[in-house]
A and B are shown apart, each in its own frame.
Chain A
Amino acid sequence: MGTAIEKVSIIVSKGSLEGIYPALIMANGARAEGIEANLFFTFFGLDAVTKKRHEHVKVATVGNPGLHLATIVGALPGMPGLMTSYLGHKMAKLDIPPIPEFIELISDSGAGLYGCQASCDLFGITKDDLIEQVQGIITVGEFYAMAAGGQIIFT
């Protein structure tokens, strides 16, 4: 088996649906394996834990070649909402929870959730703007101290 992973610290830097889900799946999967997990939300990744935004995270329909959609079509008004709703239905069929419910699950599993101090300063975000599962707003130094001895994943 080699050396088992005992701790992961996952940085979420993007605010799109496809930017956030992989990090949540990895964090939840880590806890399910008994691996300690912390999530650190930075820049637009903060949307995943911001009260007024976490229910409205959308798929990027422009600048996303994987969607196989002409850029001009992706830019039409309503396209991000349409694609997000389409994906949302597919995910619901597979019993993949929406972001707010997924984050609650991850928090209940004992993972730590933290906001990035620099990004919160930049966007004027305080702890009150973030959902209750976020344990604190921490500096990059505090993040590294927390991540010590484990693996760091940047998404």
Chain B
Amino acid sequence: MPTVTYAGHDVTVNDEGFLTDPGQWTEEMAPQIASAEGIGELTPRHWQVIRFMRAQYQAKGTGPTVRVLGKTSGVTVKELYQLFPKGPAKVAAKIAGIPKPRGCI
């Protein structure tokens, strides 16, 4: 597993760049991960999604899919894709330091 340094801390990530241990994540790491995903600045709307992903993961052990995000996060599907053009659930999960959500829909 590769090791990368975010916000001065070494963390291990998988081949796709997702943190292997969500416990290693801190909010300070988010902007750097986002920047690597092509998101220059994290707005309060980005943070709403990131914190929601994190909370859902802690409650359920898995992050929500885009459809679930659109129905429950308070951010519409259209806006989700504007905030995270490369895939809202996938990219927000990576920035939130949680595993990539599984699920086909």
Contacts and interface: CB of A to CB of B under 8 A. Distances in A.
Are A and B part of the same complex?
yes
Interface of A: 1, 25, 28-29, 31-34, 95-97, 105, 108-110
Task: Say whether chain B's binding surface is mostly helix, strand, loop, or mixed.
Answer: helix
Contacts, number: 44
Given A34-B90, A34-B91, A95-B67, A110 B104 contact: no
Interface stretch (B5-13, B53-61, B79-87): B79-87
A95 B70 contact: no
20 contacts: A25-B104, A25-B105, A28-B66, A28-B67, A28-B105, A29-B105, A31-B87, A32-B66, A32-B87, A33-B90, A34-B91, A95-B67, A105-B67, A105-B70, A105-B77, A108-B70, A108-B78, A108-B81, A109-B66, A110-B81
Contact of A109 (B15, B81, B86): B81
A29 B15 CA distance: 20
A110 B81 CA distance: 8
Interface residues of B, number: 19
Interface string B54-76: 00000000000111101000001
B14 to A, nearest CB: 12
Nearest to A101: B67
Contacts of B86: 34
Contact of B105 (A1, A96, A110): A96
A33 B81 CA distance: 11
A108 B89 contact: no
Contacts of B85: 34, 110
B105 A108 contact: no
A110 B86 CA distance: 11
Nearest to A96: B105
B104 A29 contact: yes
